[in-house]
Chain A
């Protein structure tokens, strides 16, 4: 599905030279039940796409397929030209969560540090280089101020920043975020979206973000991947963020309101 407004999103026949993510007729099934299929699209470096769809359609499964945690029932997925595999340092992941346990008495700093050294056996203090890397990651998300607090005491937005910092430590080319805006207030949603957009631009990173509420990020997105009736479809905002498409997608009346200056708002979802 080639999109005029967003030329980075290509029709994915796998021939695109530097695609970061390529889906080629990929499908995922649990037992005999197909979660979704027909997924064919490609994302280039620096693309920022939202993944939307009703509850239980397999949005998280799509991220897990990219992480190599869910096997494909058919077709193929390539991440930076290779099949998805666990522990790929080029893929950063911020999983969905209600929030970190409120009684988790671990410093934000240590949580982020584990993203860098947590896979190494043994114990002992982090090296100076590792501490510098963590400091830099904390700075890039603006989380230095509260990095010494127990994460359980932090707000949802602050926890998200720490998790994003952790995901950035390995300098990934692809960042996967599963509902990073859930349970955040409007201000925090806005801040997190802008932070992600800024990181995307400065690092030329491809970002895939699962979301329910589109409004807070519509201006930032290059495209949308939506999952409906077991199919995965990638498109531009013009293709997807329309009253008829979204109403069909969510199976309930949804109105897309376009302001005079061209901003879109989704109402009634």
Chain B
């Protein structure tokens, strides 16, 4: 991991040249960038639809799918994809009933992780694989995996592009969207399928445990800055790309995994924007007293 290098020259062009001289870094940049773009776009909907915890649970549940696939001699990515997508569809079908069901989601999450730990003990091949699934290993991503990541991320983005306006309507105001004849339930299920794709893809970069970093934090940070959906989506994508690129560069020079740096940067961005943004909003909006409930 660049251990033979003295360190950054602080000449960005020279440093990038050094970094991208390695095939594994090129792969990491391609996969990381594509996942960042996808994460920013789908993350906006995750935040607006209040699915942050569900996303986390979906991802952790993927651990069981990935380890289970290894037990039966299949590709962990495939197992993850199948498991997460099925879980997503189930969540989508439950739909509104899931809202506020933190305990039920948490229980399922615990069970999935328990299954994962069982598979882990069954298969001896899993010891090394498990850490990668949990925390991601973007520097070891193979060209074949990159192709997978690019295809799935692009398919997810394409689908989100087609669904964009109805999905936004159904996310912001499901009741009126339904009255207008939109298939709100179908859109919810379709979104959960896409979220399954996105989770399975993003796991390649940050692992199942750090998925928050790319699928939620950039979008949550972006929403602090602007109430315009299109702009917030763009900011989320830019924040995610910045975190991935910076994380990869730092990870190249330091003997610690990039997923740690990517997550840390996303976390810091969120903390800082939360501190800055409310003041900005307060100064731009006319503060008014909350209205008291009238007799009703």
| Residues on A facing B (Cβ under 8 Å) | 67, 69, 85-88, 91, 93-95, 97, 100, 104-107, 110-111, 114-115, 117-123, 125, 146, 148-151, 153, 155-157, 163, 166-167, 179, 181-186, 188-189, 212-213
Contact = CB atoms under 8 A, between A and B. Distances in A.
Interface in B256-296: 281, 285-286, 288, 290-296
A18 B230 CA distance: 43
B227 interface: yes
Given A95-B175, A185-B294, 17 more contacts: A87-B181, A93-B179, A105-B226, A110-B227, A114-B172, A119-B181, A121-B162, A121-B165, A121-B166, A122-B162, A149-B285, A149-B286, A150-B227, A151-B227, A155-B288, A182-B294, A189-B294
A104 B226 CA distance: 11
26 contacts: A85-B181, A87-B179, A97-B175, A105-B224, A105-B227, A106-B229, A110-B172, A115-B176, A115-B180, A118-B180, A118-B182, A119-B181, A120-B165, A120-B166, A121-B165, A122-B165, A123-B165, A123-B230, A146-B286, A149-B227, A149-B285, A151-B227, A153-B285, A182-B293, A182-B296, A184-B291
A163 B172 CA distance: 12
Contacts of B82: none
Given A114-B165, A156-B291, A212 B296 contact: yes
Interface of B: 48, 161-166, 168-169, 172-173, 175-182, 223-224, 226-230, 232, 281, 285-286, 288, 290-296
A189 B207 CA distance: 52
A67 B180 CA distance: 9
Contacts of A93: 176, 179
Contacts of A146: 286
A182 B296 CA distance: 6
B211 to A, nearest CB: 22
B296 to A, nearest CB: 4
Given A114-B173, A115-B180, A118-B168, A185 B227 contact: no
Nearest to A101: B50
A155 B227 contact: no
B285 A114 contact: no
B42 to A, nearest CB: 13
Contact of B227 (A107, A118, A163, A182): A107
A188 to B, nearest CB: 6
Nearest to B295: A213
Given A106-B227, A183-B293, A111 B232 contact: no
B165 A117 contact: yes
A188 B181 CA distance: 30
